[in-house]
């Protein structure tokens, strides 16, 4: 229930993407929001108010002359009750209307009459690719952002007109994530966060390798939470089957050496480094070009191993980290004696904060329990969803940044 207690006015302007608004309305409500739908006359040509009324469980407003309002001021009453106004789809015509302050229907009138300081305006554009790329639309989007509106991104792909390109309205679940992120405190605004996630894979031959059971879910949750908190996020991911969080830049790697090089290439631009990945401690001295075959003798091939580079220690001991320009956070996945091992690892790595967890109890799971260890001691964070824990950890990191007081 990420949006519990929030009241969203969902506005629909004219466009074929109105069909997505039905699923979006349902998704907002499933996350705990109440939704009041307001439609333009053009929107009602694509989807009926009855559909949105059934989904929102509220009467849909389509006219500024709606007689249900005792004072005949629906534009005032509806906007004052909202925690946010979300226009999805927002057509090129409606964006032009907003830009010039035109108010010739209920939806545009309501947007103009909203209290700027307390009712944010979120726009989900939807239009043909040529319309989206037109200089007039480009100017309008830039000015709407300058005026304080949050213009969400567009999708790319097949369009109803038969063309392919940018301009599609984002999918309902993507827009839901945008709305949830919008309401998160921007504790890391202006920060550049570098995160590692998942396992590494150290090749023995073209088929086999050394790896571990890390799913990457905690690191991906942290990437999402850091982006929600306003950070510019780069995620270095080992071999995992997870979707990239919205707004996050992703670099895919395989081995520990690959991960180290990717991190070193990004570290100079980062202000926070979070080493969530479960990096393999060892790798084969040499991998073969061909699959190692059994020869029927029962003898096991000798596998010589060498230690992998220590990514966390390397970055934590860098000049930027030592000067305080790069705040490093480590993770420790243990099987027992978590406090003792996590405390020792924090001191050995030389990081201000280390996050410990019991690996076998969390690998592949959607929830976890954490132990935060710093110079002052240790604090348990009870078991919760990994996204909830990621948001807690973001706050803990923000509190520890130099010059920060929350």
**Residue numbers annotated as active site:** 161
Contact by Cβ (8 Å): 24, 172 = yes
Q: Which residues contact 344 (CB under 8 A, 6 or more apart)?
A: none
Contact by Cβ (8 Å): 398, 391 = no
Q: Which of 244, 191, 180 is nearest to 397 (CA)?
A: 191
* Distances in whole angstroms, Cα of residue 324 to Cα of each of 29, 124, 401: 44, 39, 9
Distance of CA 365 to the CA centre of its chain: 19
Strand 249-252 relative to strand 232-237: parallel, antiparallel, unpaired? parallel
Q: Terminal CA-to-CA distance of the chain, rounded, Å?
A: 25
User: In the chain, helix, strand, coil percent, each to 5?
Assistant: 35, 25, 40
Q: Which residues contact 346 (CB under 8 A, 6 or more apart)?
A: 330, 353, 354, 373, 374
Q: Which two tokens stand for residue 195?
A: 């995160």
Distance of CA 399 to the CA centre of its chain: 21
Residue whose tokens read 């969530």: 276
249 sits in which H/E element: strand 249-252
Q: Which residues contact 250 (CB under 8 A, 6 or more apart)?
A: 234, 235, 236, 237, 244
* Coil, helix or strand at residue 132: helix
| Cβ count near 280 (within 10 Å) | 22
Contact by Cβ (8 Å): 235, 197 = yes
Q: Which residues contact 297 (CB under 8 A, 6 or more apart)?
A: none
Q: Which residues contact 292 (CB under 8 A, 6 or more apart)?
A: 204, 205, 208, 301
Contact by Cβ (8 Å): 133, 177 = no
């Amino acid at each position: 229930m990420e949006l519990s207690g929030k009241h969203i006015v969902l506005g629909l302007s004219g466009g074929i993407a109105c069909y997505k608004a039905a699923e979006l309305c349902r998704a907002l409500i499933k996350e705990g929001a109440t939704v009041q739908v307001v439609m333009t006359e053009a929107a009602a040509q694509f989807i009926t108010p009855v559909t949105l009324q059934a989904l929102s469980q509220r009467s849909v407003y389509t006219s500024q002359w709606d007689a249900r309002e005792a004072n005949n001021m629906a534009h005032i009453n509806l906007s004052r009750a909202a925690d946010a106004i979300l226009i999805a789809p927002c057509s090129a015509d409606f964006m032009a209307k907003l830009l010039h302050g035109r108010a010739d229907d209920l939806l545009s009138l309501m947007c103009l009459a909203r209290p700027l300081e307390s009712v944010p305006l979120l726009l989900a554009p939807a239009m043909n690719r040529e319309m989206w790329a037109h200089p007039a639309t480009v100017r309008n989007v830039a000015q709407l952002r300058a005026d304080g509106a949050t213009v969400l991104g567009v999708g790319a792909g097949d369009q109803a007109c038969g063309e392919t390109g940018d301009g599609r309205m984002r999918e309902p679940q993507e827009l839901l994530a945008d709305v949830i992120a919008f309401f998160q405190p921007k504790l890391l605004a202006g920060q550049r966060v570098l995160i590692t996630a998942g396992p590494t894979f150290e090749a023995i031959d073209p088929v086999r390798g050394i790896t571990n059971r890390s799913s990457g879910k905690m690191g991906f949750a942290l990437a999402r939470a850091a982006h929600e908190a306003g950070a510019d996020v780069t995620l270095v991911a080992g071999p995992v089957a997870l979707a990239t969080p919205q707004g996050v830049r992703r670099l895919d790697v395989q081995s520990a050496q690959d991960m180290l090089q990717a991190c070193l290439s990004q570290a100079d631009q980062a202000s926070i480094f979070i080493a969530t990945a479960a990096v393999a401690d060892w790798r084969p001295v040499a991998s073969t070009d061909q699959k190692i075959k059994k020869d029927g003798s029962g003898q096991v091939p000798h596998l010589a191993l060498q230690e992998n580079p220590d990514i966390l220690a390397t970055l934590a001991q860098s000049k930027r980290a030592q000067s305080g320009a790069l705040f490093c956070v480590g993770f420790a996945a243990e099987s027992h004696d978590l406090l003792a091992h996590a405390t020792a690892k924090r001191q050995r790595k030389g990081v201000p904060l280390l996050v410990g967890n019991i690996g076998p109890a969390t690998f592949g799971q959607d929830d976890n329990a954490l132990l935060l260890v710093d110079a002052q001691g240790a604090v348990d964070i009870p078991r919760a969803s990994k996204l909830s824990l990621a948001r807690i950890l973001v706050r803990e990191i923000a509190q520890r940044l130099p010059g920060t007081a929350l």
